[in-house]
Structure 1
Amino acid sequence: MSGAVVRILEHLRTDGGLQGRDIANIAAVSPATVSRWSSGKATPDIEAQKTIAELRYVVDRLAEFYSPDETRLWLHAAHPMLKGERAIDLIRSGRTSEVLAVIDALDEGTFT
């Protein structure tokens, strides 16, 4: 399992422009914990794995529209279609479906 987590974390860094502290913030752990996951020295618990998997899906969807740096900014910015909330906060609180609904609107061209 740790090999898969290491690959996903690397993917989040390269394709999502995310840094260890971003991932730590979303997964509600310390940056040192993310570092241990990245090196394969530890494995996230099931809740953190779920959050990381959801984040990966969001990053993959955003990659259809944005560069990694733009993706990171999009995740951190307050968004009008999220009632002024930030996507990273919604993902952390288990409201990923709301973020995906906005991405779907981007995909359908109903929001720019």
Structure 2
Amino acid sequence: MASTFANFIDNLQEHGGLKGVDIANFTDVSSATVHRWKSGDYSPQPKTQLLLATLHYIVGRLDQYYNPSEVRIWLYQPHPQLEDRRAIDVIVHGDPKEVIAIIDRMDSEAYL
């Protein structure tokens, strides 16, 4: 299972433009812990596993529209459709379904 999360972290970095410190910040762990996950030495806690899986899914969807640096910006900028909240905050502290709904509208070309 550790290799799954190592792959998720690689994907978040490669396709989402996220840095290890970004992942550490929103999972509330140290950068060293993220490195241990990436090396397969340790696995994240179940709640963090769910968060990483959700982010992996969202980054995969955004990768269809944006390059990695744009994905990172998209996650970190305020969105009018999220009442000017940042998507990363909604994902981490709220309801990722709101963010996924925005991507669904992008897919249907109804992004306003």
Task: Tell me which interval the TM-score lies in, with the shorter structure as reference length.
Answer: over 0.9
Q: Deviations over 1:7-28 (max 9, x none)?
A: 1110111111111111122222
**2:67 counterpart residue number:** 67
Of the structure 1 ranges 2-11 and 48-57, higher mean CA displacement relative to structure 2 is found in 2-11
Which position in structure 1 is the counterpart of 2:17?
17
Which segment drifts farther, 48-57 or 85-94?
85-94
- The residue that corresponds to 2:2 in the other structure is 2
Percent identity at matched positions? 43
Query: For residues 81 and 98 of structure 2, what CA distance do their matches in structure 1 show?
Result: 9
Q: TM-score, normalised by structure 1?
A: 0.94
Q: How far apart in 1 are the matches of 2:40 and 2:46? A: 16
Question: Match for residue 47 of structure 2?
Answer: 47
RMSD of the alignment, in Å? 1.1
User: How many residues are aligned here?
Assistant: 112
Which residue in 1 is equivalent to 2:104? Answer: 104
Q: Which runs of 5+ in 2 are unaligned?
A: none
* Deviation, structure 1 residue 91: 0.9
Length-normalised TM-score, structure 2: 0.94
Aligned-pair CA distance for 1:37: 0.8
CA distance in 1, matches of 2:108, 2:72: 21
Q: Which runs of 5+ in 1 are unaligned?
A: none
The amino acid of 2:14's aligned partner reads: T
Distance between the aligned counterparts of 2:100 and 2:73, measured in 1?
A: 16
Amino acid at match of 2:49: Q
- 1:110 is displaced (CA, Å) by 1.3
Deviation at 1:94, TM superposition (A): 4.0
Deviations 1:28-83 (A, max 9, x none): 22222111111112110100000000000000110111011100000000111111
> Aligned equivalents of 1:89 and 1:21: distance in 2?
15
